[in-house]
Structure 1
Amino acid sequence: MILILRALGVGDLATAAPALRGLRGAFPGEDLSLAAPAWLGPLVDAIGGIDHLVPARELEPLSGAPMNPQIAVNLHGSGPESHRRLLDLEPGKLWAFANRAAGHQDGPGWLDEEHEVRRWCRLMRYYGVPCNEFDLDLNRPDVDVAEDVTIIHPGAKSTARRWPAERYAAVARHLRSAGHRVLITGSDSEQELCVRVSELAGLGPEAVPRTGLAELLGLVATARLVISGDTGIAHLATGYRTPSVTLFGPVSPARWGPPADRPWHRAIWHGTRSERGDLPGPVHPALLEISVDEVLAAGNQVLHAAASK
């Protein structure tokens, strides 16, 4: 049995899809178990190839994981905490980035500015596992959702990565007047923000659906357009090849952006250096440099590019 740790969020798991598929291809007959939050189950299914989901929370002891896996693979971070969670299970081997504090010297060095997809593929290749960085596509879930909608997702994990609600509302108002069916999506904790954007845009309550992850996957898979900040739904748009515009603030798209060779995905960034993405406090200045007109123009560009595919 091979145990993989990636106990993070939607975008983190989506960007690890190529590495997970590399492992599946390298060990076709082995049990692949993924330690990740249980609520990510629909996304695990959309990636495919995982035999068992072991419910896990970030950097907590892996109490539900079996002992002595043949290989423990750290796709979570650079360590030492994540390394130790896996070493506690006494695996036959640990595949991870080198970390002196965790006593793990076998493995490549960590590069802070590396793109997240490339990072985990590089780790896999170090251990002899072929990995295709462009293998990002996701399977569509079997759910009944509205199709051909335009999704505006105003939330993000930190306030530094949230473009102002008033600007999202202005975009929503313009797109609706242009004939788009606009939905405002967000997590349970972001519902108040979603309602505010909807009200400012003059949309009705039906524009703010309460969705689980499976429903969100279904919406994105068939959407006309996705507009969001640097957060998980942007990676879902990449996985479903749905036209998207992603607004970046503290973190450069060179680290978390869509593949550069896809003109139907557009990353907008006015920053000069990449910072931590979980910065507290007000909206990051790089986000405030992005105008409503710039987002609308980018939306038109990605829709045109998608139509020309």
Structure 2
Amino acid sequence: MTERILILRAGAIGDVVLSYPVLFALRARRPDAFLCLAGRTEARLLALAGGLADAERDIADAFFAPLFAPAERAPCRELAEFVGGFDRVVSLLGDPGGAIARALKAHGARDLVSFEGVRPGAHVARQLFAVLAPWGITGFPEGQAMIARALPCPEDAPAGCAVVHPGSGSAAKNWPAERFRALIECALVAGFAVRVPCGEADAEAVAAATDGTAAEVVRLPLVALAGLFMRAALYVGNDSGITHVAGAVGAPTVAVFGPSDPALWRPLGPRTCALRGRGGRFPGLDRVLAAAGLGPGGKGL
């Protein structure tokens, strides 16, 4: 009989992408298992399109609300039927007091492993991955692309383009726009077609970084954007969920860090580089250009 495994992960795009090594390892260990990811954002749809999951649910749906309700409430029959239909459950929700784990058990979870929460020290993806140890899964897939399956992308997307993403979930994490603009100009001079993704929260940062350049701004669903990354020769971006996606699909990725700590949050993948200045400051333009292969000598990743 096919083993059924439920994985639960909340958070923004990057938070869900950092759970991909868990899905990757479960798929590698049990190729015939049925994996269902209950997650947030389009990152759960990317996991499905990339073959990491066989089904997805939106954990923000009211269907899952009983998992976060006061303990004295009786279990929800519909949710208990759903949870009880899985042989194993992986909760990556951040549960320092164990309340969510207890709710899952009350709703029929059998073989359950649970994540208590992020702590200082190891990379967040490794902390999430550590929950699999009781099942004998300990080999973290360092340096591997989490998604290798070809994904759809715009038909006019040029192979070997440079993708530059000047936005993030917080303006404080954005490398200065004038440096992004200078990098875009260098990429154009080097002969790259430059594509700049723009999401709902990125409009101001994208406008400032692309002003006066010949870069093309693109607005794409996450799965199509990941397909674009697979065709790219270079990706440069801030500490953001989009940067995590670029690394996860194997794009040569330069991640620019400032206030956030790359030891915890750097993107993972076969060709990634995280740069940070001293004292939590942003790195200089020359250093980023060199890592991207756009400086003197043209090497880089």
- Which TM-score tier does this pair reach, normalised by the shorter chain? 0.7 to 0.9
- In structure 2, distance between residues paired with 1:30 and 1:292: 46
1:93-113 deviations in whole A, cap 9, x for unaligned?
Answer: 3211458xxxxxxxxxx6422
Distance 1:250 1:158, change over 3 A: same
Matched residue, 1:92: 110
2:25–2:141: 8 Å Cα contact kept in structure 1?
Answer: no
- Alignment partner of 1:141 is 2:151: yes
Secondary structure of the corresponding residue to residue 215 of structure 1: helix
Instruction: Provide TM-score, normalisation by structure 1.
Output: 0.77
Matched residue, 2:275: 268
Secondary structure of the corresponding residue to residue 294 of structure 1: helix
- In structure 1, distance between residues paired with 2:255 and 2:116: 33
2:246–2:253: 8 Å Cα contact kept in structure 1?
Answer: yes
2:20–2:52: 8 Å Cα contact kept in structure 1?
Answer: no
1:7–1:58: 8 Å Cα contact kept in structure 2?
Answer: no
- In structure 1, distance between residues paired with 2:292 and 2:300: 10
Task: Work out the number of aligned pairs and report it.
Answer: 277
Once the 2 structures are TM-superposed, how far is the Cα of residue 180 of structure 1 from its aligned partner?
Answer: 1.9
1:109-147 deviations in whole A, cap 9, x for unaligned?
Answer: x64221122212222123323543224331231233412
Once the 2 structures are TM-superposed, how far is the Cα of residue 161 of structure 1 from its aligned partner?
Answer: 0.8
Gaps of 5+ in 2: 68-75
- In structure 1, distance between residues paired with 2:184 and 2:55: 40
Secondary structure of the corresponding residue to residue 286 of structure 2: helix
Once the 2 structures are TM-superposed, how far is the Cα of residue 55 of structure 1 from its aligned partner?
Answer: 1.3
Matched residue, 2:83: 67
Distance 1:84 1:154, change over 3 A: farther
User: How do 1:136-285 and structure 2 match up within 5 A?
Assistant: 136-138=145-147, 139-145=149-155, 146=157, 147-199=159-211, 202-204=212-214, 207-258=216-267, 264-272=271-279
Once the 2 structures are TM-superposed, how far is the Cα of residue 152 of structure 1 from its aligned partner?
Answer: 1.1
2:92–2:115: 8 Å Cα contact kept in structure 1?
Answer: no
Amino acid across the alignment from 2:203 = Q
- In structure 2, distance between residues paired with 1:167 and 1:58: 40
Instruction: Provide TM-score, normalisation by structure 2.
Output: 0.79
Once the 2 structures are TM-superposed, how far is the Cα of residue 58 of structure 1 from its aligned partner?
Answer: 9.5
Distance 1:164 1:38, change over 3 A: closer
2:244–2:268: 8 Å Cα contact kept in structure 1?
Answer: no
Once the 2 structures are TM-superposed, how far is the Cα of residue 78 of structure 1 from its aligned partner?
Answer: 4.1
1:8–1:58: 8 Å Cα contact kept in structure 2?
Answer: no
1:161–1:230: 8 Å Cα contact kept in structure 2?
Answer: yes
Work out which of the residue numbers 135, 142, 146 in structure 2 matches 1:127: 135
1:244-293 deviations in whole A, cap 9, x for unaligned?
Answer: 21111222222122459x6x432111255xxxxxxxxxxxx612xx2222
2:254–2:288: 8 Å Cα contact kept in structure 1?
Answer: yes
2:13–2:42: 8 Å Cα contact kept in structure 1?
Answer: no
Secondary structure of the corresponding residue to residue 254 of structure 1: helix
Secondary structure of the corresponding residue to residue 42 of structure 2: helix
Work out which of the residue numbers 271, 274, 281 in structure 2 matches 1:286: 281
Amino acid across the alignment from 1:215 = A
Distance 1:171 1:162, change over 3 A: same
User: How do 1:103-118 and structure 2 match up within 5 A?
Assistant: 111-118=119-126
Amino acid across the alignment from 1:230 = D
1:41–1:53: 8 Å Cα contact kept in structure 2?
Answer: yes
Amino acid across the alignment from 1:171 = L
- In structure 2, distance between residues paired with 1:28 and 1:152: 35
Gaps of 5+ in 1: 100-109, 273-284
Matched residue, 1:9: 12
- Alignment partner of 1:19 is 2:22: yes
Distance 1:17 1:295, change over 3 A: same
Q: Kindly, what percent of the aligned residue pairs are identical?
A: 27
- Alignment partner of 1:77 is 2:89: no
2:164–2:236: 8 Å Cα contact kept in structure 1?
Answer: yes
Amino acid across the alignment from 2:274 = A
